[in-house]
Amino acid sequence: MDIDFLEIDKYLDFRKNKKYFIFQDNLISINQMDKIKELIPLYGLNDVLLLFEKNPKITQHFKCNFIIEIECKNCKNISIKNFSKTDLNDFLKVRKNMYDYKNNIFFCENCINENNNLRLNEIKLFEEKRKNEMLESTQNYINNYLNENNGWKKDIKFSVKWDSIRMFNVNIDEIAKYIKSMDYYEFLNTLYWKTISAKKKRQSNFKCQICNSNNLLATHHRNYEIRGYELQNMNDLIVLCNDCHKKHHEIIE
C-alpha cells in the first residue's frame, strides 16, 4: 500500500470499510509518518493506531514489528527501526519529555551508544569522587572522635554531640577496624565512646538496668564482638551501677 495516496478526508471511510493498509512488513517513510500524524488532531490517537494491522501473511509463530524510517532527535541522521505497537503509540504522541535516551525509538544506535558510554564514564567518575570523599570523611572522623586528647567545646548541646558521632558518609568497617586496634582504656576516653555511654544513660533514665540504682553508673558491652559497631548495636550495651558491674564481671569484693 502506498500511504502517500491516503486522503485525510476519506480516512473514516477507509476505517468503516475495514481497508487495513499498513502491515508489519511495510516500510513507512518519514514523510508518510508525518502524514499519519496529521490524522491525530482530527480522529484521535487510538483510532489512528488502527491503521497499523498485523500482516495476515505472517504466521503467529513469528514476531514482526512495523518498519519505520526515523530521524534521530540528536544527530538528525535517518535510520530504520522496528517499532512495536507500543513504540508507535509513544512515537505518535510526540511529547517533548519522551525525547530521552532511555526511549531508544527516538535516537539512532550511534547516539544511544555514545550516550551510554558517557553515562558510564559519569557514573565511574561519581563513584570515584564518592569513594575519595568517604576516605577523607573516615579519616576526619577518626581524628575528631577517636582521639582521646580531643574534647567537646564548652556548652555544646548533647543533641549536637550525638548527631556529630553518628556515622554519616564514612566507612563503618574502617572505623570499627581502627577502634579494635586501640588500647581499650584509650578508647573509653574518646568522644565516640563518651557520647554513646551518655546516650545509653539517658535512655535508662540514669538508672542501673538491673537494680535501678543510680550509684556510679557505667555503660557496659554485653558482647565485645560489637566493639566498633556500637552505634549499630545500641541494644547490646547496658547501663550498670558499680555493684552490678562488678557482679557482671564476676568480681566480688
pLDDT at 59: 46
Question: Which has the higher per-residue pLDDT, 237 or 3?
Answer: 237
pLDDT digits (tens, 9 = 90+) for 175-210: 999 999 999 899 999 999 999 999 999 999 999 999
pLDDT at 142: 96
**Quick one: which of 72, 32, 70, 71 has its CA closest to 52?**
32
Domain residue ranges of the chain, discontinuous segments joined by +? 3-103, 116-248
Grid coordinates in use for 208?
Answer: 542501673
What is the rounded distance in angstroms from the CA atom of residue 247 to the CA atom of residue 241? Answer: 10
Which residue type occupies 18? Answer: K
25 class by beta-carbon count within 10 Å (0-12 exposed, 13-18 middle, 19+ buried): exposed
pLDDT at 116: 84
pLDDT > 90 in the chain, percent: 38
SS3 250: coil
Q: Which of 8-17, 173-182, 229-238 has the lowest mean pLDDT?
A: 8-17
Computed over every residue of the chain, the mean pLDDT equals: 82
**CB environment 208-229: b (16+ within 10 A), e (fewer):** bbeeeeeeebbbbeeeeebbbb
Q: With 70 as the cut, is the pLDDT of residue 11 above it?
A: no
Residue 27: phi and psi, rounded to 5, are -90, 120
CA dihedral 141, 142, 143, 148 (to 10 degrees): 120
pLDDT > 70 in the chain, percent: 79
CB atoms within 10 A of CB 46: 9
Q: With 80 as the cut, is the pLDDT of residue 17 above it?
A: no
pLDDT at 170: 93
240 class by beta-carbon count within 10 Å (0-12 exposed, 13-18 middle, 19+ buried): buried
**Cβ contact 121:153 at 8 Å:** no
**Cβ contact 104:110 at 8 Å:** no
CA dihedral 204, 218, 222, 251 (to 10 degrees): -130
pLDDT digits (tens, 9 = 90+) for 209-232: 999 999 899 999 988 899 999 999
Where does the pLDDT of residue 34 fall: very low under 50, low under 70, confident under 90, or very high at 90 and above? confident
Q: With 50 as the cut, is the pLDDT of residue 27 above it?
A: yes
pLDDT digits (tens, 9 = 90+) for 51-78: 777 655 554 444 557 888 888 888 888 8
Model pTM score:
0.56
